Amino acid sequence: MTYSFPEEVLEHVFSFLTSQNDRNAASLVCRTWYEMERWCRKRIFVGNCYAVNPRVLIRRFPEVKAVELKGKPHFADFNLVPEGWGGFVYPWIVEFARVYPWLEEIRLKRMVVTDECLEIVSKAFRNFKVLILSSCEGFSTDGLAAVAANCRNLRVLDLRECEVEELSGHWLSHFPDSFTSLESLNIACLSLEVSFSALERLVSRSPNLKTLRLNRTVPLEKISKLLQRAPQLADFGTGAYSAEIRPDVYSSLQEAFSGCKKLKSLSGFWDVVPAYLPAVFSVCSQLTYLNLSYATTQSPDLIKVISQCHNLQRLVVLDYIEDMGLDTVAVTCKDLRELVVFPSDPFVADANVLLTEEGLVSVSQGCSKLQSVLYFCRQMSNSALISISKNRPNLTCFRLCILEPRAPDYLTFEPLDVGFGSIVENCKELTRLSMSGLLTDRVFEYIGKHAKKLDMLSVAFAGDSDLGLHHVLSGCESLRKLEIRDCPFGDKALLANASKLLTMRSLWMSSCFVSFGACKLLGQKMPGLNVEVIDERENLNLLPENAPVEKVYIYRTVSGQRLDMPDFVRIMGKDKNGVYNLSLCDKGL
Amino acid sequence: MMHLKETELCLGLPGGGCEADTALKVTGKRGYSQTVDLMLNLQTNDQSSSTDLNDNKLQNSTKNNKDPIKPPAKAQVVGWPPVRNYRKNVMAQKSNNEETEKVVAATAGGGSVAAFVKVSMDGAPYLRKVDLKLYESYQQLSDALAKMFSSFTMGDYGSQGMIDFMNESKLMDLLNSSEYVPSYEDKDGDWMLVGDVPWQMFVESCKRLRIMKGSDAIGLAPRAMAKCKNRC
């Protein structure tokens, strides 16, 4: 006896499933549900653009409205992935243009986007609404001009830390006068000046504008004009926050800010002149997000602002804040969920500021809702880490960067194994961890034993042997992303845990001891994995099998070999057709 | 299962210290070629650093001076620390920055003594300080001052970076303008126009800086020109 709901009912029920994981689970129940679900899935997330290819995607999901793709591995942010490696979005855009004329949203992270891609996007999708490019590159202001000119219904244009070839600032003027649907504009990463009058007119005719993040070139004196035109703003990023000290400029700025009753997020503040900071005091108590990470001003000035931000949930700041400033955060920002402290002078060995582990301990004590930490500092101790873990067992993301590689506990000179061990043991909900400092295999033993919910782990200059890697791969049940650099991990742990790699999105290892031979073997044995050796040296064929590769990037995939690899990328253990090659006497790569 | 030897701790680069894995020998040149030769000299003189954190903080900044083993400048490891390019570029633009004032460089042992002088600008509510030793030319000083006092741009210094005092009309133009002009108090207590002497001489004789409107600086000009003529 079979019961079946009418399709419409199933579709209606599925419409309440928003998470992709839930939808994936539902589609495994039975064939009917699989078919039903795939026809009504509107939002697609592809965490690794090489895990699947466009054809596979569009064959399964014919009615997509929103796509999110990620390209390069995370370490590309730190120049570890050579130029030209990949992550080209063009083939995807071409397929989408062919099959999804009603596509509305595209979100890309670490992908190469060309002007041609942007032009296609601007013309192929009639109802295109949202374009978010995060850490992308490959396009110029011409591409932006095409988007501005042609996307009649655009709501969001968000360029987050992209590398844009800036030919002119004129692109902004391409938004037609009839264009009024803008809700969010983020051009903070651009360095060329855009026409202020065009910007002002755009803001004036965008009644739904909620987010406006300017770039550095918009002068402080002109900001009040923009704020007056858009008092409904919820998220504002200033330009350079400096001007001649003039009372008239100050008072109009102050007035403009106080008119923004809905403002909750504030950022920008390049080149900050402290005398102008009080102009934002009136909105401080409204703020839930404050980014002062370009405000190169000293602790007292920062404290004056932060001490008024009682409702702050996310704070991004430079280490100029110092321990004293973090004490203020601990006392004032009782709702704080996320703290990010960037280094002001990362390449200088000596401390230029009085920021130590104490500041972080202080915040962990005072801010009971703190979940996420990214902290750059110059010294750390096991006792501080233990305190932090006991204060904040609710941490979900803990990223600590001690600037000097392999720096030990500065009090005892011991490794920081016990400290990080305490973090993973006490913070049972931890999903993301980045470690630094002097670490032996022992810390990996702790991680393998306790970090059961860990999803992403970043490791650098740590460990003693393959045992370290083995602990992590065999113990961390939820691990999906592992990135390792400059650690003495080699073939043994990798090959022993080959099947684990199929349960993960990706593994990155650079400057480790993984050999060519092992990569080839892994690629041969595991057809579901692409084992990419990224190595820019010449004459790789002359190196022995046991020579270590420069970099290896391993990821699960259903799409077989990539077709867009540069010559320094080799997929190991598979022949040209993507079929694995069992010939062990084949020395070719 | 754990090889205790492998977990033996040594403060130093893997392969350099206690146990050397054979794999390391094969790759010895390669594996860590990118990393800095770290001299973890913490075991040398840091017995003196007490567990009192306050002491440590103070010692931090003067450590440089007492410790002869410490490497002078850090060679950069690729991609470390993990700071993204955009942020690196933005911070790098704050070169010759006022933040160096925080470092207690004035107590430096070997190496050049810093030359901090107060800088005031007419109309600015606060004074600043610059270390003249950080710059090598008037242009660099000009750039740094421009960053501190955003409305300040120095006049044209010409190719040699010195105001052409022999050209009276040029000088008068500058002094009649509403542009700001830097002046300095020299060792004799006289207030001079910046740019009249070679850079090194200026660094040695400058006691404080004052950035004033060109029109206010007119009174300095004749004295400046007289002094210059005496020297030439």
- B68: nearest Cα among B45, B84, B38, B85: B45
Residue B225 maps to a domain: no
Q: Are A486 and B79 an interchain contact pair (Cβ–Cβ within 8 Å)?
A: no
SS (H, E, C) B180-217: EEEEEECCCCCEEECCCCCHHHHHHHCCEEEEEEHHHH
ipTM of model: 0.88
Q: Could you read off the pLDDT of B178-209 as tens digits, one per residue?
A: 677 888 888 888 888 888 788 888 888 888 88
Query: Chain A residues with CB inside 8 Å of B32's CB?
Result: 486, 511
Minimum distance, in Å, between the CA of residue B43 and any CA atom of chain A: 8
Facing A464 at nearest CB: one of B14, B73, B124: B14
Query: Chain B residues with CB inside 8 Å of A445's CB?
Result: 2
Residue A197 maps to a domain: yes
Q: Could you tell me which residues come within 8 angstroms of residue A154 by beta carbon, excluding any fewer than 6 positions away?
A: A128, A129, A130, A131, A147, A148, A179, A181, A182
Which H or E run contains A298?
Answer: none
Residue found by looking up tokens 């923009």 in the block: A226
Minimum distance, in Å, between the CA of residue A374 and any CA atom of chain B: 11
pLDDT at residue B149, as a whole number = 75
Specify the 3-state DSSP secondary structure of A532. Answer: strand
Specify which residues A105 forms β-bridges with. Answer: A66, A130
Query: Chain A residues with CB inside 8 Å of B125's CB?
Result: 245, 275
Alpha carbons A287 and A336: distance in angstroms, whole number: 11
Region B127-156 average pLDDT = 74
Q: Could you tell me which residues come within 8 angstroms of residue B160 by beta carbon, excluding any fewer than 6 positions away?
A: none
pLDDT at residue B220, as a whole number = 67
Residue A331 maps to a domain: no
Q: Which residues of chain A have pLDDT under 50?
A: 1, 578-589
- Cβ atoms A254, A279 nearer than 8 A: yes
Residue B197 maps to a domain: yes
Mutate to test the interface with A, among B4, B49, B91 (most CBs of A within 10 A): B91
Cβ-in-10-Å burial (0-12, 13-18, 19+) of A362 comes to buried
Query: Chain B residues with CB inside 8 Å of A403's CB?
Result: 81
- A367: nearest Cα among A314, A420, A324: A314
CA distances from A413 to A378, A391, A409, B74, B140 (A): 14, 24, 5, 21, 42
Q: Could you read off the pLDDT of B25-43 as tens digits, one per residue?
A: 333 333 333 333 333 333 3
pLDDT at residue A232, as a whole number = 97
Residue A332 maps to a domain: no
Which H or E run contains A217?
Answer: none
Check the CA dihedral B154-B155-B159-B164 and report its sign. negative
The amino acid that residue A154 corresponds to is L
Residue B53 maps to a domain: no
pLDDT at residue A103, as a whole number = 98
Alpha carbons A445 and A470: distance in angstroms, whole number: 9
Residue A222 maps to a domain: yes
pLDDT at residue A67, as a whole number = 98
Q: Name the region of A235 (left: φ>0; alpha: ψ -120 to 50; beta: rest).
A: beta
Helices (H) and strands (E) in chain B, counts: 9, 5
- Contact map slice: A 453-472 vs B, CB within 8 A: 460-461, 464-465, 467
Residue A387 maps to a domain: no
B160: domain CATH number is: 3.10.20.90
- A375: nearest Cα among A349, A350, A348, A395: A395
Q: Could you tell me which residues come within 8 angstroms of residue A217 by beta carbon, excluding any fewer than 6 positions away?
A: A169, A191, A192, A193, A194, A239, A240
Residue A185 maps to a domain: yes
Angle of helix A466-475 relative to helix A441-450, nearest 10 degrees, comes to 10
Facing A467 at nearest CB: one of B2, B79, B83: B2
Alpha carbons A399 and A383: distance in angstroms, whole number: 17
pLDDT at residue B52, as a whole number = 37
CA-only gyration radius of chain A, Å: 26
- B24: nearest Cα among A490, A508, A518: A490
pTM of the model: 0.75
Q: What is the distance in angstroms between the CA of the first residue and the CA of the last residue of chain B?
A: 83
Q: Could you tell me which residues come within 8 angstroms of residue A91 by beta carbon, excluding any fewer than 6 positions away?
A: A53, A54, A564
Alpha carbons A582 and B230: distance in angstroms, whole number: 89
Which H or E run contains A571?
Answer: strand A569-571
Alpha carbons A426 and A453: distance in angstroms, whole number: 12
State residue B17 phi and psi, 5-degree precision: -95, -120
pLDDT at residue A456, as a whole number = 98
Structure-block tokens of residue B56 = 């440590």
Which H or E run contains A218?
Answer: none
The total of other beta-carbon atoms located within 10 Å of residue B10's CB is 12
Q: Are B61 and A79 an interchain contact pair (Cβ–Cβ within 8 Å)?
A: no
Region B7-15 average pLDDT = 44
Check the CA dihedral B33-B34-B37-B38 and report its sign. negative
Range of the domain at B203: 116-213
Cβ-in-10-Å burial (0-12, 13-18, 19+) of A152 comes to middle
Alpha carbons A248 and A256: distance in angstroms, whole number: 12
Residue A12 maps to a domain: no
Residue B139 maps to a domain: yes
Minimum distance, in Å, between the CA of residue A379 and any CA atom of chain B: 10
- B7: nearest Cα among A495, A515, A445: A445
- Cβ atoms A277, A301 nearer than 8 A: yes
Mutate to test the interface with B, among A406, A409, A514 (most CBs of B within 10 A): A406
- List strands edge to edge, sheet with B208-213: B128-131, B116-121, B208-213, B180-185, B191-193
Minimum distance, in Å, between the CA of residue B220 and any CA atom of chain A: 25
pLDDT at residue A352, as a whole number = 87
pLDDT at residue A511, as a whole number = 97
Q: Could you tell me which residues come within 8 angstroms of residue B186 by beta carbon, excluding any fewer than 6 positions away?
A: B192, B205, B206, B207
A153: domain CATH number is: 3.80.10.10
What is the tally of structural domains in chain A?
1
Range of the domain at A99: 42-237
Mutate to test the interface with A, among B3, B4, B7, B65 (most CBs of A within 10 A): B7
DSSP B43-108: HHHGGGS-S-HHHHHHHHHHHHHH-SSS-SSPPPPTT-S---HHHHHHHHTSTT-GGGGTS-GGG-
Nearest-Cα residue of chain A relative to residue B57: A354
- A341: nearest Cα among A300, A301, A290, A304: A290
Query: Chain A residues with CB inside 8 Å of B147's CB?
Result: 271
Residue found by looking up tokens 């990155």 in the block: A508
pLDDT at residue A417, as a whole number = 98
What is the tally of structural domains in chain B?
1
Q: Are B27 and A442 an interchain contact pair (Cβ–Cβ within 8 Å)?
A: no
Alpha carbons A177 and A198: distance in angstroms, whole number: 10
Q: Predicted confidence band at B59 (pLDDT cuts at 50, 70, 90)?
A: very low
Runs of H (alpha helix) within A438-538: 441-450, 466-475, 491-496, 516-525
